[in-house]
Chain A
Amino acid sequence: MLRASLRQVSAALKEGRVTPTELCQRCLALIKSTKFLNAYVTVAEETALKQAEESEERYKRGQPLGILDGIPIAVKDNFNTAGIETTCASNMLKGYISPYNATVVQKLLDHGAVLLGKTNLDEFAMGSGSTDGVFGPVRNPWSYSKQYKEKSVPKSHSEEESDWVITGGSSGGSAAAVSSFTCFAALGSDTGGSTRNPAAHCGVVGLKPTYGLISRHGLIPLVNSMDVPGILTRCVDDAAVLLGSLAGHDPKDSTTIQDDFKPFELPNLTDVSKLSIGIPKEYHAPGLSSEILALWSKAADLFKNAGAKVVEVSLPHTRYSIVCYHVLCTAEVASNMARFDGLEYGHRSDMKDSTESMYAATRREGFNDVVRGRILSGNYFLLKQNYEKYFVKAQKVRRLIANDFVKVFRSGVDVLLTPTTLSDAAPYTEFIQEDNRTRSAQDDILTQAANMAGLPAINVPTALSERGLPVGLQFIGRSFQEKQLLTVAKWFEKQVQFPVIELEEVKRHDNGVFQHQKSASFS
């Protein structure tokens, strides 16, 4: 049951094969037994059960609010949730309870979804491993899968214990939560790849919609001009369902587009011969593992063999994306973080010598090194003497990067196919050898340009690596052409038949009604 798709579980709820409360309780139990993953920062058991109860009432009256009614979901802990702590995995906001819901959270609740809790992340979403938050690193559920264990050489217990791999990030908690079946869908955020990267490492679908399609109101910003709420689900169809409930103009976010958004169902493509798939050669990046390169070509062949046009394209400015992102990101971070001064909310230092010394101590105690480092560089780039040299130049490069995409799509390409990550997930012990800045620069390299250009992009889990870990590929679509993007992704998802994670904990908890009827997409 816990492994079902949204439509399947919704049907089960409607038919009364399971009640929202039962579903919620099972998820809560699974969260408890997978606590070692550290996917959740806060589990809102009480409110979740209450929401489930309310949902149950609606089902009893025969008036559910839609597909999402009674569906347990999780939300990254950088979205404001009224009455439930919102920490950004930072000392600065530990214990902070927001008085309002982010628009996306409100929309999910309005659709009847049950909010299980808040998921772990890198502090203020700055990172690519979900290892740099104040609540500790998130462990990739695949570390404990039968598939991974089988491939690894038998080791001593202590070695095995240190063998776990990272989830990627910064929305690693959300990816792990969906991947370990503790919720049916989760919200992440995506500024440079923070939804797609952990999705790839955790073997789930991760959608970064077009900038301006989904409201950012209530999302604690990293880079306002690139942040997008991200969607993490089991399958592409589920992502479309969530998108349908989240997208659209929000008067509280002036950067959302005014046009009406019509929710859509994805067709089952049978003919891809009219499709043109672009393979950007620049994504053949240094450090790309041979395994992923092979998988990427195989995927391109898959399209070619099915009759699609597959063309090599060039996005010449993509290689400047990371350095350009570094300037723009840190500048906005420096600005956005200025509000955390300990006066209105959040951590306040005991230092009372002067207002200035209180600010300094508050910020030193409240932020980790990564955040402070970015604030420092950002302020440097914004200095009067540096502004033209760095910020303005980076903005110009950003425009060039975006124009590259425009040109490619204008040439007739429908969707771009690229790898999502350079390799499969690294073991934690290996990952922390490098500093956050180096890792982020490496890990965002394939996902970042889509944020620069504001384009929709999706990670589709594709296969398991030699080590038994998930590997995903990324599709990048035209602005606001989510339907086309997801349709292609869905076709691809069907072809690759990505295996289901085999977790002991899930087996124990999910012996429910669906035991005898395996779902097609997960067989």
Chain B
Amino acid sequence: AVACNKRGGAVPAGKSGLAPWIPVVGLEIHAQISSNSKLFSGSQVQFAAPPNSLVSFFDASLPGTLPVLNRRCVEAAVMTGLALNCSINKKSLFDRKHYFYADLPAGYQITQQRVPIAVNGSLSYSLCIDNKMSQMVTKTVRIKQIQLEQDSGKSLHDDTRCQTLVDLNRAGVGLMEVVMEPDMCCGEEAAAAVRELQLILQTLGSSQAVMAEGQLRVDANVSVHHPGEPYGVRTEVKNINSIRFLAKAVDYEIQRQIEELENGGTILNETRAFDSKLGCTVPMRDKEGKQDYRFMPEPNLPPLILYDTKSLPANMNHQQVINIDWIQERLPDLPSVKREKLVEQYGILPEHSFTLLNEDGLAEFFESVVKQTQMKPKKVIGWILNDLLSYLKQHSLTVKESPVSSILLADLLNLLEKKEISSTAAKRVLAELWKGEGKTPLEIVKEQKLELLQDQKELEQICQAVIDGQENEVMAIKAGNRKVLNKLIGLVQRKTQGRSNPVLVKQLLEKKLSE
């Protein structure tokens, strides 16, 4: 693995012992816009529909068909641009990018090469140092531009029969290409930046951004150079289909380039594919040779004009125009703001706020539990992160799929908070609840007789019995070894099958021992 200096420093020199290397990583991210219909046609957008079932005449590039811009896609791009602190171009243009490929029916892709819809933004993301959640640093990557463009279809190669099958369902779906400047220096940074972007897109609803479904596709541009020298020749790494693989691919590529250069080799300006099974990058054969895309303005689409409240023409049909200010006012809280609010409102640790937002729906689950219980949020967070989350992870469930609803968890925590059960008992109730048999926490408590012993006398007798049976320990405590008290508390707990209140037990034991 590549040693990446979190403060943006250089990687120490390799075996040659010469100057250190500085890795440079830039990203090009294609986010599929979440919309009902495609960017320039009325056909539906849907994942995993039967092949070629979502193809309009335009998508198949039948002669004489023309593109008609989808308003929703423009709004999604504007939202995303605003969320990434971009300046939105009031006038942007569409271009044709030409290349022959079986899944590109028109022979060109409509994109925004000259004047994209949004430019000059930034994205702040956090990552932890040395894998310690408690040491987070915030970094910023500049966003060069966001451009609207068409997705291509899919080619399926049948090598045995020497056939290529083409599915045009995806052809023409709206994409936002987010171009990040080469401000990152390792796989972890790239992964953290993409994760934050993913959260932002999902918060906005502008893209579902599920990498496994191809809604978020990341290409990484990687190069290395010595300090004070110009950037090295870069390679483009494609075929990265998860955030984990992104980190791996980037780190592998940095290491490969360093080794190549230190062994006297050169880096080619080439496209490489990440092989997730082998964990390495390999040159892509069909992308060999330089392509001249022969860009040309798209003559069938007038310039895309956006307005703000100031420039909005008075007698314009509102269906015909997009008001940037109007969209800005309606932007939801972004993940960074949400995290701050969580920390501020509930007094939880910043790193906990990250974990809450990292899982879809977890923050909402947490807030819902907090609302329904008297337990302090600071204590609730432990149950959410340690118990709920680890259970879900263990069983590969999403928050929405959790067998324990926020209401049930709140009920349970309330029992605990009202000291009706011990936390040991609470864990046992929770274990029962995961089974999802429709029982309430109270029912389980009753069934399994987990209520705390309310009878003080009975508890006192048990405590006395423990003290009487543990002479050595009692001696040790009296001699000043207070830690041994915990052992006695544990024994009481065991005798009461976890039904005693440890605080109360401690008080009783202390009282008796000082007598």
Contact = CB atoms under 8 A, between A and B. Distances in A.
Interface of A: 79-80, 86, 88, 93, 98-100, 102, 216-221, 223-225, 251-255, 258, 331-332, 334-335, 337-341, 343-345, 355-356, 359, 379, 382-384, 387, 391
A221 B300 CA distance: 10
A221 B96 CA distance: 15
B5 interface: no
Contact of A335 (B60, B62, B64, B98): B98
19 contacts: A80-B63, A80-B64, A86-B63, A93-B63, A100-B62, A218-B64, A221-B64, A254-B66, A254-B69, A255-B66, A255-B301, A338-B107, A339-B106, A343-B166, A344-B105, A345-B62, A356-B100, A382-B98, A382-B295
B71 to A, nearest CB: 12
Contacts of A341: 100, 105, 107
A255 B300 contact: yes
Nearest to A93: B63
What 6 A-B pairs have minimum CB-CB distances, sorted nearest first?
Answer: A338-B107, A382-B294, A224-B299, A225-B299, A220-B63, A339-B61
B63 A253 contact: no
Given A344-B61, A344-B62, A332 B100 contact: no
A224 B102 contact: no
A255 B296 CA distance: 17
Contacts of B66: 216-217, 252-255
Contacts of B62: 80, 98-100, 344-345
A224 B67 CA distance: 12
B296 A335 contact: yes
B328 to A, nearest CB: 26
B57 interface: yes
Contacts of B164: 355
A339 B98 contact: no
Contact of A338 (B65, B69, B106): B106
A95 B79 CA distance: 47
Given A217-B64, A225-B299, A343 B102 contact: yes
Interface residues of B, number: 30
> Which has the most chain B C-beta neighbours within 10 Å: A219, A332, A335, A343?
A335
A479 to B, nearest CB: 15
Interface in B295-314: 295-296, 299-302
B96 A335 contact: yes
A344 B60 contact: yes
> Which has the most chain A C-beta neighbours within 10 Å: B63, B107, B294?
B63
Contacts, number: 100
Contacts of B98: 335, 338, 382
Nearest to A358: B102
A339 B105 contact: yes
B292 interface: yes
Contacts of B57: 99-100
B63 A355 contact: no
A482 to B, nearest CB: 21
Given A335-B296, A338-B98, A379-B294, 17 more contacts: A79-B64, A80-B63, A100-B57, A219-B64, A223-B299, A253-B66, A254-B69, A335-B107, A335-B294, A338-B107, A343-B105, A344-B60, A345-B62, A355-B164, A359-B100, A383-B292, A384-B295
Interface string B91-109: 0000010101010011110
Nearest to A391: B296
B137 interface: no
Contacts of A217: 64-66
A332 B302 CA distance: 16
A254 B67 contact: yes
A332 B296 contact: yes
B66 to A, nearest CB: 5
Interface in B83-131: 96, 98, 100, 102, 105-108
B63 A339 contact: yes
A114 B404 CA distance: 69
A344 B166 CA distance: 10
B63 A334 contact: no
Contacts of A102: 64
B294 A383 contact: yes
B396 interface: no
B320 interface: yes
A88 B295 CA distance: 26
A356 B107 CA distance: 13
Contact of B64 (A220, A251, A334, A384): A220
B292 A384 contact: yes
B68 interface: yes
Nearest to A355: B102
Contacts of B299: 223-225, 255, 332
Nearest to A387: B295
Interface string B164-201: 10100000000000000000000000000000000000
A258 B67 CA distance: 16
A146 B91 CA distance: 59
Contacts of B108: 335, 338
A170 B41 CA distance: 31
B100 to A, nearest CB: 6
A185 B107 CA distance: 36
A228 B337 CA distance: 53
Interface in B252-308: 292, 294-296, 299-302
B300 A224 contact: yes
Contacts of B105: 339, 341, 343-344
A338 B294 CA distance: 12
A78 B232 CA distance: 52
Nearest to B105: A344
A338 B100 contact: yes
A147 B296 CA distance: 49
Contacts of B67: 254
A12 to B, nearest CB: 35
A356 B286 CA distance: 12
Nearest to B101: A355
B68 A254 contact: yes
B49 to A, nearest CB: 19
Contact of A334 (B61, B294, B302, B320): B294
B309 to A, nearest CB: 22
B68 A252 contact: yes
Nearest to B67: A254
Contacts of A340: 63
Nearest to B99: A338
Contacts of A88: 63
Contacts of A99: 57, 62
A201 B66 CA distance: 32
B81 to A, nearest CB: 22
Contacts of A382: 98, 294-296
A219 B100 CA distance: 23
Nearest to B61: A339
Contacts of B295: 382, 384, 387
A88 B64 CA distance: 11
A86 B294 CA distance: 29
Contacts of A345: 60, 62-63
Contacts of B296: 331-332, 335, 382, 391
Contacts of B63: 80, 86, 88, 93, 98, 220-221, 339-340, 345
A56 to B, nearest CB: 31
A334 B105 CA distance: 15
A251 B68 contact: yes
A379 B100 CA distance: 13
Contacts of B69: 254
A118 to B, nearest CB: 13
Nearest to B60: A344
B478 to A, nearest CB: 89
Nearest to B293: A384
Nearest to B107: A338
Contacts of A224: 299-300
B96 A254 contact: no
Contacts of A254: 66-69, 300-302
B64 A98 contact: yes
B166 to A, nearest CB: 7
